[in-house]
């Protein structure tokens, strides 16, 4: 089945705001960026709009090794990436759920202890690998920002478990396009999530060609 994404939205909440596209990464870009996107299902988006963000939701419902930066509430500055996340999540399970994105307003609130991985270097690869192996990382972190691993991550982790070859793992998950075009911001702290304003949610309109 081929999915063609129509990068327009049917408005669900009419609150104001400007949707930003992804900018080139620069020093503290993620701290100064105002609008971020979370791709999910419409039902989940409505729940976030009504009840706020729960960073522990992922920890309660999915294994800790499911995420690059550990259990958290994940955002991206790239609208297209959020759309892909939404479509993927909406296609899981037995029901065809409407995909949606949550638009978050969070400029100037990342002032606590965080970690940044602007490049797919060795430190980033080891951090991702340790999370994917289920190892507990720094509990004191409030957020982590960095690159998104290549889609071959699952097989790369499986191979690493067999041969313990870190160099091969790093090579497998590196993707130059991903490094320069996609990012992710993992919000770990409950207190940080309480400061976030949900600007609005929008349904993603997709065409499915079977």
pLDDT tens digit string along 3-54? 334 433 333 332 333 323 334 455 566 787 888 999 999 999 999 999 888 8
In a domain, 162, yes or no: yes
- For tokens 């075009």, the residue is 181
Cα–Cα distance between 194 and 105 in angstroms, integer?
12
pLDDT at residue 64, rounded to an integer: 66
Whether 109 shows a pLDDT value over 60: the answer reads yes
Query: What is the domain count for the chain?
Result: 1
Whether 129 shows a pLDDT value over 60: the answer reads yes
Q: What percent of the chain has pLDDT over 90?
A: 35
Q: Give residues with Cβ within 8 angstroms of 144, minimum separation 6.
A: 69, 70, 72, 114, 115, 116, 117, 127, 185, 186, 188
In a domain, 22, yes or no: no
Q: Give residues with Cβ within 8 angstroms of 73, minimum separation 6.
A: 38, 53, 54, 55, 57, 58, 186, 187, 193
Q: What percent of the chain has pLDDT over 70?
A: 77
**Which ranges of the chain does DSSP label H, i.e. alpha helix?**
29-32, 42-51, 57-61, 79-90, 122-132, 153-163, 166-173, 176-181, 190-194
More confident residue, 4 or 145: 145
pLDDT at residue 24, rounded to an integer: 45
pLDDT at residue 18, rounded to an integer: 31
In a domain, 106, yes or no: yes
In a domain, 159, yes or no: yes
CATH number, position 68: 3.90.228
| Residue 184 domain boundaries | 2-17+27-209
pLDDT tens digit string along 48-90? 999 888 887 766 766 667 889 988 999 999 999 999 999 988 8
pTM: 0.82
pLDDT at residue 58, rounded to an integer: 67
């Amino acid at each position: 089945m081929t999915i063609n994404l129509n990068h327009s939205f049917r408005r669900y909440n009419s609150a104001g705001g400007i949707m930003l596209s992804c900018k080139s990464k620069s020093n503290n870009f993620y701290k100064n960026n105002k609008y971020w996107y979370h791709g999910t299902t419409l039902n989940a988006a409505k729940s976030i709009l009504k009840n706020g963000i729960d960073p522990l939701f992922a920890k309660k419902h999915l294994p800790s090794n499911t995420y690059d930066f550990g259990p958290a509430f994940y955002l991206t500055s790239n609208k297209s990436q959020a759309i892909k996340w939404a479509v993927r999540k909406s296609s899981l399970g037995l029901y065809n759920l409407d995909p949606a994105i949550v638009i978050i307003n969070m400029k100037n609130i990342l002032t606590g202890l965080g970690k940044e991985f602007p490049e797919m270097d060795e430190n980033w690869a080891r951090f991702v690998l340790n999370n994917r192996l289920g190892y507990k990382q720094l509990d004191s972190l409030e957020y982590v920002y960095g690159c998104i691993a290549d889609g071959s991550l699952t097989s790369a982790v499986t191979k690493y478990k067999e041969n313990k070859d870190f160099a091969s793992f790093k090579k497998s998950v590196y993707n130059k396009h991903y490094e320069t075009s996609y990012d992710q911001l993992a919000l770990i702290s409950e207190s940080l999530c309480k400061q976030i304003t949900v600007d609005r949610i929008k349904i993603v309109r997709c065409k499915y060609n079977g």
